[in-house]
Structure 1
Amino acid sequence: MQKSYTPIHRIILLTVFVVVTVLGVLTIITPSAIFPDASWGFLVMRSMQMGGAFNVLTKPDQQNIASNVSEFISWWSPGQYLLPHFFKTIFGLNTGQAAAVTTALCQIIGLAGFYSFFKKAGFTPLITALSLVVIICQQAFFTPYIFYTGGEILLFAFTGWFLYGCLVFTKANWKFALFVLLSGWIGFICKSSFIWIYAAGLLFTWVQISKGLSGIRAWVLKGFWVAIPAVASVVVIYILYLNKGVNPSSGSNGFDLSWKTLAFPIASPLLSGFSVDDLFNGLIFHNDDAILSPGWVMLVILLLAVLSVVLIYAIYRNAPNKSYQAILIIFYSVSILFFGSAYMRKLDISYEARHFRVMGLLIIPGLLHLFSHYKMVFRVALGLAIGGIMFFTIQFYLTGYYGLKNYTAYGTSGIGQQFIDQQSLNYIKLLDDRNKNATFVFFSPDIGLEIQHNRAIILPALSKDININFDEYLHKGHAGPLYILMPSHYIGIRASVILKSFPGYKGFSLKELSDDYVLYFATKAR
């Protein structure tokens, strides 16, 4: 009797599913901290829960903090808080738990989407399954389990399915038009930067539905099947959302023709696909101290740019079918044009590889397919490189998760608080419960999520040289007790600058909440 064996790709897929499920359960047990962008989204959600309009942030007015002012937040897409809000409403979860469920589900949905896309693009089941292994080795995949990334995780969940749709809908009919229309809306709700992915995908679909046609007129006529629903989708987004406030593309801050404006986008396949930008704590943009000097950064990025072009060309030459070739070249070209233009115009878009993550995902199956034709020594070298990335990624995760379990403060929101300790957070919660007309001042938006019964003002954290725009900090007027939480190292000139930002108050007192945080408070009007 002949034995039956389970195909190896199914074993790999099952292993990936188990690993991702376990990670999801762990993040629900110990919810992650949160990126600032997503914090602002949750503050909008908090305003809506307290009776505010859709996507409107209600906050104290800088001209008179006794009054409120409302601002439509169009800088970020609403999906980052709408989906967690859905889970909060349905299951009665707190914000941290709802964000954790969002992360757990989006990771599985995203992997399923890219698996479907890779298979449709012509890769073998084994290459497709191994591609998912490489994806979960990337630091970008593990980051949401430590920091809720908001739109990033939603975009990952949707992009693979969008790419799959680009391959599936190859005939110009009402189904194709509906796909173009709805994918624009869904993608934008996930994250506004989907717009460049949308443009690249639609350019590819236009090529797809126009195959075999001759003459410009025939191509233009087919183009209407793409253009009409796409324009309708974008117009609705602009009128109902982008036009109501400021966003990263609202205005230019000058012009920059330095090397990095083009080199960084060109290097994006390796910067994101091999987690190079993450492993170096951000080559250009970094929250902590830089690892490399500016000279080394330039050398590394230029080298990665050259290698990325060579790699894209090699993958293109050995791709399993023409559809994948077209997607690869179109997306790479559009990403360079879009971000190169944005960086040259100095739009408010950071030099971070996360913006190019789709390129790092697109190259993975092509890279594995390419190396499958090389000698064993090259395949081993690639495996060692991926193993190295996995090692540092696991190290990042274990360090982060240990920090969440042992050093991170948790309050009413259920979100891991990075910029306050538990002792100080407990006291802030006590003040919030005792007061109904107080105003709290924080230097990080995530702490504002702990305020349930009063109002909060979020100020930018002070830099080392205290070089600030004072008008950005100035809040006039008086409105009940004022509580300003500061890191203890602010005591002195930094604290003086902040206290002067509230000229309506006098007689500030200082209370030491812990070794790391202090509270300035006042009740008297000047």
Structure 2
Amino acid sequence: MTLTEKQLPRIVLTLLILLTLIAGIVTYLRPMAIFPDPSWGFQVMKAMEHGHGFNMKVVPDQQDINENYAEFLSWWSPGQYLVPYVFRTLFHLNIGQASAVTILVCEILGLLGFYSFFRKAGFSRNISAISIAFIASQLFYVSPYVFYNGGEVLLFGFMGWFLYGCLSFSKANDWRLLLFILLSGLMGFCCKSSFMWMFGAALCFLWINISLPEKKPVKWIVNGIWLGIPAVAAVAVIYLGYLSRGLTPASGNNPLKLLWETFGYPLASPLLSGFSIDELTLGLLYHPDGPMFSYAVSVLIIVLLAALSVAIFIAILKKVPYQSYKTLLTVFYVAAVLFFGYSYLKQLAISYEGRHFRIIGLIFIPGVIYLVSRLKIGYRVLFGLLWAGLLIASLKYVSTGYRVNRDENSHGVSGITQQFLDQKSLNTLINLDRTHTNAIFVFTSPDLGLEVEHNRYITIDPVPVDLKYSLMDNLHCGHGGPLYIFLPADCEGKRAETILKCFEDYHNFKETKITGDYIMYSAD
């Protein structure tokens, strides 16, 4: 081994950890905004801080808002708020600071974990180091510094070490493996509920990888039983203690719907998620900020990416010499295609987003780097230019996002950067909260409720421009003290009138234009 081969991984790891520390400190000093999913989790955290039960979301009752209604929040996993809750409790931080610390810890754990996993899978130090450098150049890696995404960053910090563990056992009846399966199943689910399909894929890999040397079919059966005992125990705890207590994305019974993207999107997941293509295109199929391409063009791109992803997958199986890695890659890729293809076919509440497939892209990356390292210099230069383009896009995104969060968005008591109220409107909210104890605030975004400390709040669905709105789902009856509804100014008129109808026992609303961008409707 040359001196360069010894030094390069150390330099890369040191540099990446140093840059991550700097980014974490900057984010701590001026915390990021937040995605809606973890906002609901933090609402649960606030209820727990006020003495309510574990994972209970406590809100004014729709039947009578003078009373409270407690609901077990099973739609999302609890780690997105529990981990920041630990830092918040230990170090007396606000929500924004605790989230920033969570991001920093998970990003460093993720880099070290995936480097260890790549090494355990057989890749050289150089390939492993270059792979995590490629990961750290991606838009998905830097996005938590702009928006806290909860389970996404937690899972990144966990999965590298989990996969490392999956490659560390050779006997099914090893008590350490049984304990690993039980604890990792619980921890992974705590990070993100979608870990369950990854858990199933990992169990399948463990069974195949451990049983391959065995020639007798009975040994395969015995190994499956050994692995199944802690797996069933973990799933039972998760289901009985959590999933069975409320609705989940798998709830409901919808008709089948087969489209090109139903299985094409999962097949394209290595490039969509591993190369941040879905993020760079603002979401090919799920685009809350508006589409970059038409639906037909997006589907065509997905089909082409699916074909290219399958071609890369076949090339990895042919060229990469590490059998355990190839088995793991195959099992996870096939499991993702089957699980998500079936979910999309059933029209379950799982969006077409690359983030759901992140682990597939991460597992693919060292295989791609290995293939590129054996290409002619011209192709390696082209890959380097692609990498540079991804890095520039990531740096532009995080620098612009940080500037907007710092200078243009508002900041309140939660520490979270708020996107949906300007500073004057947020100050109005905070002052009203401080001068009342029996008021109810109403928002159309779940993160704004995190600014309310002394009163109660309701989060209702925003009214779309076409006014197609489920009034019954958002209807709140009864009277529970002064009511303050904060809305964007462009809702003034019929959209605002629709929301006011959701509170049928309140009348004579007063409209206050706080700023040119936001209005408040109040009624006593």
* TM superposition score category, shorter chain reference: over 0.9
**Structure-2 separation of matches of 1:304 and 1:24:** 34
| Aligned positions of 1:356-435 closer than 5 A | 356-435=357-436
Q: Secondary structure at the match of 1:351?
A: coil
* Mean CA deviation greater in 68-77 or 494-503: 494-503
**Structure-1 separation of matches of 2:397 and 2:463:** 27
Q: Secondary structure at the match of 2:348?
A: coil
Q: Secondary structure at the match of 2:442?
A: strand
| Aligned positions of 1:42-441 closer than 5 A | 42-172=42-172, 173-441=174-442
Deviation at 1:19, TM superposition (A): 1.2
Contact 2:5 2:125 in 1 (8 A): no
**Structure-1 separation of matches of 2:188 and 2:456:** 33
Q: Secondary structure at the match of 1:110?
A: helix
Query: Is 2:471 aligned against 1:464?
Result: no
**Structure-1 separation of matches of 2:521 and 2:252:** 37
Contact 2:268 2:307 in 1 (8 A): yes
Q: Secondary structure at the match of 1:401?
A: helix
**CA offsets 1:39-80 (integer angstroms, 9 cap, x no match):** 000000011111111000000011110111110000000000
Deviation at 1:360, TM superposition (A): 0.8
**Structure-1 separation of matches of 2:24 and 2:488:** 33
Deviation at 1:326, TM superposition (A): 0.2
Q: CA 1:204–1:6 in structure 2 vs 1: closer, same or farther (change >3 Å)?
A: closer
**CA offsets 1:57-112 (integer angstroms, 9 cap, x no match):** 00001111011111000000000000101101100000000000000100000111
1:35 matched residue in structure 2: 35
Q: Secondary structure at the match of 1:457?
A: strand
Q: Secondary structure at the match of 2:167?
A: helix
Deviation at 1:21, TM superposition (A): 1.2
Cα RMSD after superposing both structures:
1.1
Deviation at 1:287, TM superposition (A): 1.1
Deviation at 1:269, TM superposition (A): 0.2
Letter aligned with residue 430 of structure 1 = N
**Structure-2 separation of matches of 1:4 and 1:197:** 36
Q: CA 1:355–1:4 in structure 2 vs 1: closer, same or farther (change >3 Å)?
A: closer
Deviation at 1:373, TM superposition (A): 1.0
Q: Secondary structure at the match of 1:57?
A: strand
**4+ runs of 1 displaced by more than 4 Å?**
3-6
**Structure-2 separation of matches of 1:102 and 1:331:** 27
**Structure-2 separation of matches of 1:255 and 1:4:** 55
Query: Is 2:8 aligned against 1:18?
Result: no
**CA offsets 1:351-379 (integer angstroms, 9 cap, x no match):** 00000000111111111111111100111
Contact 2:464 2:495 in 1 (8 A): no
Deviation at 1:409, TM superposition (A): 0.7
**CA offsets 1:496-519 (integer angstroms, 9 cap, x no match):** 111111111111101111110011
**Structure-2 separation of matches of 1:518 and 1:439:** 16
* Mean CA deviation greater in 275-284 or 164-173: 164-173
Contact 1:116 1:161 in 2 (8 A): yes
* Mean CA deviation greater in 439-448 or 362-371: 362-371
**Structure-2 separation of matches of 1:75 and 1:141:** 25
Contact 1:442 1:486 in 2 (8 A): yes
**Structure-2 separation of matches of 1:5 and 1:469:** 62
Deviation at 1:253, TM superposition (A): 2.6
Q: Secondary structure at the match of 2:65?
A: strand
Contact 2:114 2:161 in 1 (8 A): yes
Q: Secondary structure at the match of 1:25?
A: helix
Deviation at 1:254, TM superposition (A): 2.1
Letter aligned with residue 124 of structure 1 = S
**Structure-1 separation of matches of 2:254 and 2:417:** 34
**Structure-1 separation of matches of 2:482 and 2:5:** 71
Contact 2:16 2:133 in 1 (8 A): yes
**Structure-1 separation of matches of 2:211 and 2:401:** 49
Letter aligned with residue 54 of structure 1 = F
Contact 1:170 1:176 in 2 (8 A): no
**CA offsets 1:272-327 (integer angstroms, 9 cap, x no match):** 11111000000000111100011110110000000000001111211131000101
Letter aligned with residue 26 of structure 1 = V
Deviation at 1:216, TM superposition (A): 2.3
Contact 1:316 1:328 in 2 (8 A): no
Deviation at 1:151, TM superposition (A): 0.7
1:454 matched residue in structure 2: 455
Letter aligned with residue 497 of structure 1 = T
Letter aligned with residue 49 of structure 1 = E
**Structure-2 separation of matches of 1:270 and 1:73:** 33
Contact 1:441 1:485 in 2 (8 A): yes
Aligned residues: 521
Letter aligned with residue 160 of structure 2 = G
**CA offsets 1:151-200 (integer angstroms, 9 cap, x no match):** 11111111000100000022221111111111100000000000111111
**Structure-1 separation of matches of 2:203 and 2:375:** 34
**CA offsets 1:448-492 (integer angstroms, 9 cap, x no match):** 000000000001122121111111121111011000001111111
Contact 1:178 1:229 in 2 (8 A): yes
* Mean CA deviation greater in 214-223 or 470-479: 214-223
Contact 2:59 2:70 in 1 (8 A): yes
**Structure-1 separation of matches of 2:134 and 2:462:** 37
Letter aligned with residue 300 of structure 1 = I
**Structure-1 separation of matches of 2:373 and 2:501:** 65
**Gapped regions of structure 2 (runs ≥ 5):** none
**Structure-1 separation of matches of 2:506 and 2:9:** 67
Contact 2:463 2:499 in 1 (8 A): no
1:510 matched residue in structure 2: 511
Deviation at 1:6, TM superposition (A): 6.5
**Structure-1 separation of matches of 2:122 and 2:5:** 24
